[in-house]
Chains A and B, each alone.
Chain A
């Protein structure tokens, strides 16, 4: 069997592009998990709602960047509201309760989207249509821009966590909620804002992903599962690990789909997850705990 080099190059680029979007989704998920022990089942639905808002704003204004900003803000606000109404009362209870609550939220959001937008997939037009030659393909520049933009958002978020005052509050609350409160950090506010940031990041990835394939009401399910795998493989609550894991898994899936159908390529990431759990349950991309 000859090695199809051209396919491998194409799939490497594809894998990095989806990997960066996945990294954006997973960073929000891992932030929310790290800071409040909430496994957010509704994360995929926030992603999906973000994409739909992108469709709506795009249809009325025609401006992709406006769509991106509006959708992020609206979904962030929605996230804050959801956190206050459903997750704040559950603080301090078994983390499993939060899985159940967010599962309920995801049912509601998903069926709301079905009700509002119907079962037919919508599409966001690409903001710019330039293409370049890649072997026998006309590869759109837009895809590369998505990867860069996702990277920029994650990088900005990392800088914010590292140097911003609020970012430092978030890290302090993640480390020790009680101590943070004792130092005068408004912990409930920090939790709500973190959830909103996570939701906003999910929405951003939704809008960015929208032009690649259609937007429909069940797209969130796929992504939340992948994001869970990424978060576990990368090490729960670990931002850098999640980004690396997202790219790693997307690349593997992209290579696998050279030989098998994309539906079966998903199994590769499942296997990575199982192997990780067996041999390094703390995550692949974190330093070995002493």
Chain B
């Protein structure tokens, strides 16, 4: 990246983050929450981009990581009184990490479509467990809880308002973006991209491809779990529906609409999908998924690079 490109990139970055910081001060209440929700789904989609866009593995199981992050956070909030933000984060991340180790170990033995199907089946396993284990997970009804307070234990704490929650989520999503961007540009990220481009050759050069793939799935699962924790905190509610594989399908849709292999693309994809859904569901009530599906199929055929696909090279430099 030349110096000029760098300036443009970071200026653009600063402007967008700046706008997102100001947004809750000017938007009406509904759209404030909507924006926070976009950021959370964007983080989930971004985590999945590590696999789809950078390693070339399409995961249909991200709902498991996301859902376990949610249930982990819920467990921490319900078990400890008063509920603590930090514990929710830790619990959610541990739950997501445990699941992703499990899924990664088995599913990375397979490639392409087989990987996609295996991850899908794994997410369904967790769905069935959560759905039927009513005593612990609340079964079909899920769990409701109070939102924990923002703060550092023992030092200071303050209840979340819509604005502070938005800023909190924004800070985490921005930090995650910067971390993931750094990772994809690191030697580790380069190996992942070389697996995407040519797996046998990467192996021939001497990289332990399986180990890298497991790491990639775990990394991706961890950030998906983080998104789950945030969503649990925003929603104050968890349900098995969030573990169902349709959520994973939506995540893949976000990626494809926004443009895979760009990290910001999935956020843009999530934003466009959720906006489209919001607008269409006001016109068509519950049948909004019909036009959404048609638009999605058309995009797969005519615009497989996604909305931000044209700036993919530039964003990755």
Contacts and interface: CB of A to CB of B under 8 A. Distances in A.
Contacts of A105: 293, 297
A44 B237 CA distance: 30
Contacts of A101: 297, 300-301
B22 interface: no
B121 A115 contact: no
B121 A229 contact: yes
Contacts of B256: 100
Interface of B: 58, 60, 106, 109-110, 112-114, 116-118, 120-122, 124-125, 128-129, 131-132, 245, 249, 252-253, 256, 286-287, 289-290, 292-294, 296-297, 300-301, 304
Given A108-B289, A111-B287, A115-B290, A96 B113 contact: yes
A108 B297 contact: yes
A112 B193 CA distance: 39
B117 A107 contact: no
Interface in A11-63: 37, 39
A100 B117 contact: no
Contacts of A95: 112-113
A101 B79 CA distance: 43
29 contacts: A39-B113, A39-B116, A86-B301, A93-B304, A95-B112, A99-B58, A99-B60, A100-B253, A103-B249, A103-B252, A107-B289, A108-B289, A108-B290, A108-B294, A108-B297, A111-B287, A111-B290, A112-B290, A115-B287, A115-B290, A225-B124, A232-B117, A263-B128, A267-B128, A267-B129, A273-B118, A277-B106, A277-B114, A281-B110
* Interchain residue pairs A-B with the least CB separation, the first 7: A108-B293, A107-B293, A104-B297, A104-B296, A111-B289, A101-B300, A104-B293
Interface size class of A (residues with CB under 8 A): 35 or more
Given A96-B58, A103-B252, A270-B124, 7 more contacts: A39-B113, A101-B297, A107-B290, A108-B293, A110-B289, A228-B120, A281-B114
B306 to A, nearest CB: 11
Contacts of B297: 86, 101, 104-105, 108
A96 B112 contact: yes
Nearest to A232: B117
Contacts of A1: none
A264 interface: yes
Contacts of A108: 289-290, 293-294, 297
Contacts of B116: 39, 96, 99
Contacts of B249: 103, 107
Contacts of A99: 58, 60, 113, 116
A97 interface: yes
Interface string A247-290: 00000000000000101101100100110011001000000000
A273 B289 contact: no
Which label, helix, strand, loop or mixed, suits the secondary structure of the B interface? helix
Contacts of A236: 114
B286 A281 contact: no
Contacts of A114: 286-287
Given A103-B249, A107-B292, A107-B296, A277 B301 contact: no
B121 to A, nearest CB: 6
A69 interface: no
Given A263-B132, A270-B125, A277-B106, A228 B117 contact: yes
A263 B256 CA distance: 33
B293 A111 contact: yes
Given A104-B293, A266-B128, A89 B287 contact: no
A96 B196 CA distance: 13
Max chain B Cβ within 10 angstroms of own Cβ: one of A89, A90, A100, A108: A100
A273 B131 contact: no
Given A97-B300, A108-B290, A263 B131 contact: yes
B252 A100 contact: yes
A228 B110 CA distance: 15
Contact of B114 (A90, A112, A115, A232): A232
Contacts of A110: 289
A143 to B, nearest CB: 26
Nearest to A266: B128
Nearest to A106: B293
Contacts of A270: 121-122, 124-125, 128
A104 B290 contact: no
B293 A267 contact: no
Given A107-B296, A264-B128, A264-B132, A97 B290 contact: no
A232 B109 CA distance: 14
A261 B132 contact: yes
Interface string A190-231: 000000000000000000000000000000000001001100
